[in-house]
Structure 1
């Protein structure tokens, strides 16, 4: 554990670097992929890249994006994608999550 983590006792995975959301994502269905969480949904605004963060009831890092059976580099407005997350957030069907750069 690093010096700053011990002093401030914060988990850096739960931090968001930017103040303004750069996009929105609507959850259609939550999928379980072993211990990892995956969300099926639609990009409502902006662009989503791996490494960005989703904020709902908690914060999770976007690990990978899939469209159909194909892994993609980014998702844009109106794309229906599966987002594989690192970390867990509580979501329900039709929740709208904010997307932030990390």
Structure 2
């Protein structure tokens, strides 16, 4: 169940980061509520995951999901560049996160 909580925490982290961008462009209450809700839910689920998983593994995977997901959301929905160098570093983040889990 801890892995489920951790993946959910990472997805809510993506929502929180995306809402920072949305709030910057559209300053309204809904964007602010979704930003606070996204990060709040992310921390809640990360806390639940860390009851079973080690801090280093949980934090690395949580930040990996959040960073990778935010970059992909930016490319898909906000016309951020999707050049090969950027995609290569996203692959490195994913590989590093998986690698840390394999050795931890």
User: Quick check: which one's helix share is greater?
Assistant: 2
Shorter-chain TM-score category? Answer: under 0.3
Q: TM-score, length-normalised on structure 2?
A: 0.22
Which has more radius of gyration? 2
